[in-house]
Each structure stands twice: as C-alpha cells, then as structure tokens.
Amino acid sequence: MKTLLQTQPVPFTRIYALGAARGDLTVTNDEIAGPIDSSDEWIRQRTGVVTRKRASKDRSLMDMASEAADEAIKKAGIDPEEIGAVILATITFPFQTPSGASLLSELVGAKKAAAYDISAACAGYCYGIAQADALVRSGVAKYVLVVGGEKLSDFIEPTDRSISFLLGDGAGAAIVGPSDHPGISKTVWGADGSNWDKVGMTNSLIDFRDGKATWPTLVQEGPSVFRWAVWEMAKVAKQALEEAGLEAKDLSALVTHQANIRIIDEFVKQLELPDSVVVARDIIETGNTSAASIPLAMHRLLAEGQVKSGGYALEIGFGAGLAFAAQVVELP
C-alpha cells in the first residue's frame, strides 16, 4: 500500500504586516445623542467614545476590506498569488452566501486561495489569527490573509441605547506567514453559548421576511456583558499570557477589543500592567468596530510610532456568542 503524502509543517509563524481602512465620516456624540436622550458628556464618561468613524452609503464593507488587505499585502512584500487562504471575520457582509472572503480574494488578486468567512463577532479577528497560525504551521497555506471588517452602521437603530451609539465602521487586515522564531502564541479561545442571547440581532431575517419584525439591528444587555468582559475576559487574558510564557512586564502593548474604555482600564488594573506597556485606545476616535477593532487599534499604535516592530502585544477579542479569543503576537 502506498503511503499518503502530507503537507510539511513549519515550526513558527508571525504577522508580517497590517493594513487599515476606516469609515470616511466622523460622527460626533452630539450628532447621535438626541434619539437616545443621552449627551456628549455621558457617552465620553461611560464609554470613552468621542467620535466614531462611519462609512457613507457608497463606501461598502468590501471597499474597506480590500483597502486594508491591499495595504497589508504590499507592506508584507508578498505576491497575492502566494496567499493560500483568505479569512474574513465579519457579522455585516449583507449576503448569507456566497462569502465575503471569496469576493475579497478576487479583489486583492489572491487567485489561488481558499476563502471563507467566520462569524465570531468581536472575537472574529483573533479567531482568524488562530486559524491562520494553524494553517501556516501545518503547511496547508504559505501565507494567510486575515481581515476583520464591519459596516455596523447598516445594522444600527438610532434610538437603541444599548450598543448602536458605540458602533463604527472599518476593516483591519493582517498577513500571517512562516517565521524562523515564534511570533504567535497559542490561542486561548471559546464560546459561552449559555449567554447566546446577550449580544446580537433583535430578530431573525425570517421574522423580518414574514413581516413579524423590523429590519434586524444590534442590541446587547450592556451591564451583564460589561461584567463578563471585566471578570471573565481578564482571566482569559492572563491565561493567554501564561500560554505564551510571558509576564505583563514583557509586553510592549495591550490591544483589547475596543468595546468600552472602562473595560480597557479594568484590564490594565487586573493584569497589573506596568506603565511601560502601551494600551490601545482607538475607541476614542473610531468607536467599536467589532471584528475590525483589534487590527485597527494595533495599526494605529504602529503608525503613530507608539510601539516598535518586534515587541509583544497581547490581543483579546470578546463579544456576541459570547465568543472570545486571546493570543500574544509579535508586532509586525
């Protein structure tokens, strides 16, 4: 009997480069406070958001995703045809099928890539990095393009006080490839289905079709998700550090999902981060962009020179599902 041929594993992976694209509109708190009987002061104090970036009608999710991906591919210095898989983490691609990733692979010239979307909401980008790491290490793909992209403004209700006022639009991209040293640590991840209904859509598309409900928009049980994020996710972040064999002082940056600045500050406390660790606070200007928020925030730290390539960043995504994922990555 013949022996099966299998892919040859490679020992290590790293992120080669990032790309970013945000909504073209800057929306202030004053512009959205009226319908939720809120104020600029309340939103700043309770969430940290000063503006959110939103995309105008003619700037689509795919426009932002391909812009971010093109930047990452160019900076990585690779040929798009060397990309073995395109993973799009999103909850806002407006077609159930085909996947957004398939269209994205065409737009960026990744003609030899497998392509699929993943639905893990605000944890989606970190899920994507976990998958990219595994695909490259197993030898299934040489390079993987991971994009977290959302046009959340298509799924908001201006009178909703629970989440809509926080949300922005954008896309962040990463190229993952082989490395001569470890650049992505073991991912700590999961999904707490017992809290499936705590963040998500108001209703199904079927109920919308049948005239039983309105267009589905995003809602959350803010305070209970807040507590989960602060207590349970801080534990996951600590576990990810342990899996990486690092301590807080070894980090250059903490890049959490940009859900609420008070949650970010709580991570800093619970992880006992020294002042030397730069903390991403892109939420102030961009808002919460779900799957896009971590790569956008990391891209900003690098673009503004707040962190240097080669340092370690702990990244943690959490949200609807309730899904979560955390890993330490070497900054590209």
Ligand X SMILES: CC(C)(COP(=O)(O)OP(=O)(O)OC[C@H]1O[C@@H](n2cnc3c(N)ncnc32)[C@H](O)[C@@H]1OP(=O)(O)O)[C@@H](O)C(=O)NCCC(=O)NCCS
Does the annotation mark 299 as catalytic? Answer: no
Distances, alpha carbon 95 to alpha carbons 98, 217, 243, in Å: 7, 15, 37
Q: Residue 148 or 183: which CB sits closer to ligand X? A: 148
- Put residue 113 in one of left, alpha, beta given phi > 0 → left and psi -120 to 50 → alpha: beta
Under the binding rule (CB under 6 A), the answer on residue 195 touching ligand X is: no
Does the annotation mark 288 as catalytic? Answer: yes
Binding residue (CB under 6 A) for ligand X from 124, 319, 321, 332: 319
Chain length of the chain: 332
Q: How many CA atoms lie within 13 Å of 105's alpha carbon, on the beta-carbon side?
A: 24
Does the annotation mark 257 as catalytic? Answer: yes
Under the binding rule (CB under 6 A), the answer on residue 222 touching ligand X is: yes
Asked whether 62 and 68 are in contact (CB, 8 A), the reply is no
Under the binding rule (CB under 6 A), the answer on residue 225 touching ligand X is: yes
Segment 56-85, which members bind ligand X (CB under 6 A)? none
Segment 145-184, which members bind ligand X (CB under 6 A)? 161-162, 165
Q: How far is the CB of 135 from ligand X (least distance, A)?
A: 26
DSSP 287-317: -B-GGGHHHHHHHHHHHTTSS-TTSEEEEEE
Q: Residue 147 or 263: which CB sits closer to ligand X? A: 263
Q: How far is the CB of 25 from ligand X (least distance, A)?
A: 20
Binding residue (CB under 6 A) for ligand X from 142, 226, 250, 268: 226
CA 159-165-166 angle, to 5 degrees, is: 155
Binding residue (CB under 6 A) for ligand X from 17, 18, 64, 122: 122
Whole-number Å distance between alpha carbons of 209 and 307: 48
Asked whether 234 and 242 are in contact (CB, 8 A), the reply is no
Q: How far is the CB of 223 from ligand X (least distance, A)?
A: 4
Under the binding rule (CB under 6 A), the answer on residue 329 touching ligand X is: no
99 secondary structure, DSSP code:
-
Three-state SS at 25:
strand
Segment 24-43, which members bind ligand X (CB under 6 A)? 36, 38, 42
Under the binding rule (CB under 6 A), the answer on residue 46 touching ligand X is: yes
Under the binding rule (CB under 6 A), the answer on residue 270 touching ligand X is: no
Whole-number Å distance between alpha carbons of 58 and 52: 18
Please name the amino acid found at residue 254: L
Q: How far is the CB of 97 from ligand X (least distance, A)?
A: 25
- Tell me the residue number closest to ligand X, measured at CB: 222
Please name the amino acid found at residue 50: V
Q: How far is the CB of 207 from ligand X (least distance, A)?
A: 23
Q: How far is the CB of 206 from ligand X (least distance, A)?
A: 24
Question: The tokens 């957004």 sit on which residue?
Answer: 100
Task: Report the first-to-last Cα separation within the chain, whole angstroms.
Answer: 45
Under the binding rule (CB under 6 A), the answer on residue 288 touching ligand X is: yes
Query: CB under 6 A: which stretch of 56-64, 109-117, 181-189, 218-226 binds ligand X?
Result: 218-226
Three-state SS at 177:
strand
Given 29, 126, 257, 260, the catalytic residue: 257
Binding residue (CB under 6 A) for ligand X from 66, 220, 286, 289: 220
Q: How far is the CB of 274 from ligand X (least distance, A)?
A: 25
Whole-number Å distance between alpha carbons of 332 and 235: 26
What does the binding site for ligand X look like in residue numbers (CB under 6 A)? 36, 38, 42, 46-47, 122, 161-162, 165, 199, 220, 222-223, 225-226, 229, 259-260, 263, 288, 319
Q: Which residues are catalytic?
A: 122, 257, 288
